[in-house]
Amino acid sequence: MSVLVGNLAPAFNAKAVINGIEIVDDFSLEQYLGKKHVVFFFYPKDFTFVCPTELHAFQDKLAEFEARNTAVVACSTDSEQSHWGWLQMPKNKGGIQGVTYPVVADTTKTIAINFGVLSGDYDFNEDGEMIATGPMVAFRGLFLIDKDGIVRHQLVNDMPLGRSIDEALRVVDALQFYEENGEVCPADWQKGDKAMKESHEGVADYLSAK
């Protein structure tokens, strides 16, 4: 598993479902370069249990991300047809109907591999046959990508552990505050809190004021 923070987000071009219904053949994060921050998150599988709670939770807060000029994009190793079918299934039956942000189909698993979140690997057995050494689906990876395409934050949870969408919003706020003001955000910083100058004097002033 790799640490991508500080590096360009891996490029890809893949099929995706957008607006909950339309399948496109050439979805890419490059469309957001110079325009928006991006929260790009992976989930293990369609038609599962923790996953729909996360996808709906992102949808519930989508207006808050949009107010921050931040796009939300999901991705799993399922096919675009699987995504489309899940998107047509009502929420009360375990589906994700109502989700409108893009859901990318990483059917070749190369996006998950390049982002370092694929659970498992390919190997060869003693007969020279290719085998998979794990479930070959994505961990719950989340990446905050800035307008220059640089990964500024990443979080990877194991399959049973759902993420906090409020924390994702908090990190977006912290990054944007730093970009706009040049001050760094201390532990547990929330939008509207005091930040500090990036210096020994700045941290001393901040700690003495607490």
> 18-63 pLDDT, tens per residue?
999 999 999 999 999 999 999 999 999 999 999 999 999 999 999 9
User: Given 29, 51, 112, 151, which residue is catalytic?
Assistant: 51
Q: Which of 7-11, 108-112, 153-157, 206-210 has the lowest mean pLDDT?
A: 206-210
CA torsion through residues 179, 184, 185, 187, sign: positive
Q: Measured between alpha carbons, how far is 170 from 177 in angstroms, rounded to an integer?
A: 10
Q: Tell me, what's the pLDDT at 122?
A: 84
Which residue ranges form the domains of the chain, and what is each CATH number?
Answer: 14-163 (3.40.30.10), 164-210 (no CATH)
Q: How far is the C-alpha of 54 from the C-alpha of 51, rounded, in Å?
A: 5
Confidence (pLDDT) at 121: 85
Exposure string of 9-36, with b = 16+ CB inside 10 Å and e = fewer, is bbebebbbbeebeeeeeebebeebeeeb
- More confident call, 35 vs 120: 35
Contact by Cβ (8 Å): 132, 120? yes
pLDDT at 204: 67
Which pLDDT does position 37 carry in this prediction?
98
For residue 145, what are the β-bridge partners?
38, 151
Q: Is the pTM of this model over 0.75?
A: yes
Residue 1 pLDDT grade (very low, low, confident, very high; cuts 50, 70, 90): low
Instruction: For 20-71, give the DSSP string.
Output: TTEEEEEE-GGGGTTT-EEEEEE-S-TT-SHHHHHHHHHHHTHHHHHHTTEE
Residue 205 confidence (pLDDT)? 72
In the structure, what pLDDT confidence band is assigned to residue 123 with cuts at 50, 70 and 90?
Answer: confident
Question: 110-137 b/e with 16+ CB inside 10 Å = b?
Answer: ebbbbbbbbbeeeeeeeeeeeeeeeeeb
Question: How far is residue 73's CA from residue 77's CA, in Å, rounded to a whole number?
Answer: 14
Is position 75 annotated as part of the catalytic site? Answer: no
Fill in the amino acid letter for 114.
Answer: N
pLDDT tens track for 62-105: 999 999 999 999 999 999 999 999 999 999 999 999 999 999 99
**Per-residue pLDDT reduced to its tens digit, 163-186:** 999 999 999 999 999 999 999 999
Token digits of residue 91: 């929420």
